[in-house]
Structure 1
Amino acid sequence: MVFAGKRPNNLGISNGKLASCPNTPNCVSSQSPDASHQIAPLTFTSTPEEAITNLKQIIESLPRTKIITESKDYLYAEFKSALLGFVDDVEFYLDRNANVIHVRSASRLGQSDLGVNRKRIETIRANFK
């Protein structure tokens, strides 16, 4: 696991927010104030419990994925790249008041991700009902 890197220590929810994206372009977040990192949150019309269960099933169906932390309003998963084993940290925060799931997907190492983090969230969104 040459390119796995160390698990960040700033993950999780703090005051209703996921961690900010770094200045590098290899991160997207639905809570980011700047356009380059901004991505829409996942929206749902089911119950929050059904939404998080559905999300978990989608994540588990994707290749090279491992759920690390899970609570009723939060999921954290690691996604590994096929070629070199680069790890991306992907978080989901269920906001029950707004009926959305906030997302943050960030590469651990490097600068550019060639749009992989954004594509991943859009793939999850396309499967999320």
Structure 2
Amino acid sequence: MSRLIAFAKRLPWSIAFVILLNLTANLVFPATSWADSSNLGINNSHLTACPTSPNCVVSQNADSKHAIDPISYHVDRDTAKATLLKVLTVVPRTEVVENTDNYIHALSKSRIFKFTDDVEFYFPPNESVIHIRSASRVGDSDLGVNRRRMEQIRLAMQDLNI
């Protein structure tokens, strides 16, 4: 009986803690979603521009805070694409969900909260570059995760002499 009384005394504090944690999470990671089918893919030979939030990078038509260089390659396009697909298999918590002739879309999940980021790659015809875009689906700041992920993928491609 004394355990039940002790539990009952702690219960209001536990509930208050859960409510506070939920409110804090909603402030830090608001439930706004940038990713739907109209915000992904290739449109007029370009990846979609980033939203105004800082949790996105793109290599095409971006302002200075969202800009990132495309990945250059010096082999044929099919080899570059096959190599990129191999690299993506070792990127933690990342899964390719779409793979067409000139486009790859992968989902990458954060380790702790399992937030999903959309990671896109576009192989334009007659160019030896891979245009890239990585964007968080929710929240505002990603603490630079999307940029670091893309730079790590770039380094992996360079290490493979692509």
Taking structure 1 as the reference length, what is the TM-score of the superposition? 0.93
Residue pair 1:21, 1:32 contacting (<8 A) in 2 also: no
Percent identity between matched residues is 44
1:107 maps to what in 2?
136
1:87 maps to what in 2?
116
Matching residue's letter, 2:68: I
Residue pair 1:79, 1:88 contacting (<8 A) in 2 also: yes
Do structure 1's residue 62 and structure 2's residue 65 form an aligned pair?
no
**Any gaps of 5 or more consecutive residues in structure 2?**
1-30
2:55 maps to what in 1?
26
- Check 1:106–1:6 CA distance in 2 against 1; reply closer, same or farther (3 A cut): closer
Residue pair 2:50, 2:62 contacting (<8 A) in 1 also: no
Give the Cα–Cα distance (whole angstroms) in 2 for the partners of residues 108 and 80 of structure 1.
10
Residue pair 1:74, 1:92 contacting (<8 A) in 2 also: yes
Give the Cα–Cα distance (whole angstroms) in 2 for the partners of residues 35 and 7 of structure 1.
22
C-alpha deviations, 1:71-124, integer Å up to 9, x for none?
Answer: 121100000001000000000000232210000000000000000000000000
- Check 1:102–1:109 CA distance in 2 against 1; reply closer, same or farther (3 A cut): same
Report SS of the residue matched to 1:34. Answer: coil
**Any gaps of 5 or more consecutive residues in structure 1?**
none
Residue pair 1:52, 1:72 contacting (<8 A) in 2 also: no
1:8 maps to what in 2?
36
- Could you tell me which of 145, 153, 156 is aligned with 1:116? 145
What is the total number of aligned residue pairs between the two structures?
Answer: 126
1:71 maps to what in 2?
100
Report SS of the residue matched to 1:101. Answer: strand
> Which structure's CA Rg is the greater one?
2
Matching residue's letter, 2:41: G
By how many angstroms is 1:32 displaced?
3.1
Give the Cα–Cα distance (whole angstroms) in 2 for the partners of residues 6 and 122 of structure 1.
22
2:7 maps to what in 1?
none
More relative contact order in 1 or in 2 (CA 8 Å, sep 6+)? 1
2:126 maps to what in 1?
97
Alignment root-mean-square deviation, CA: 1.5
Matching residue's letter, 2:87: I
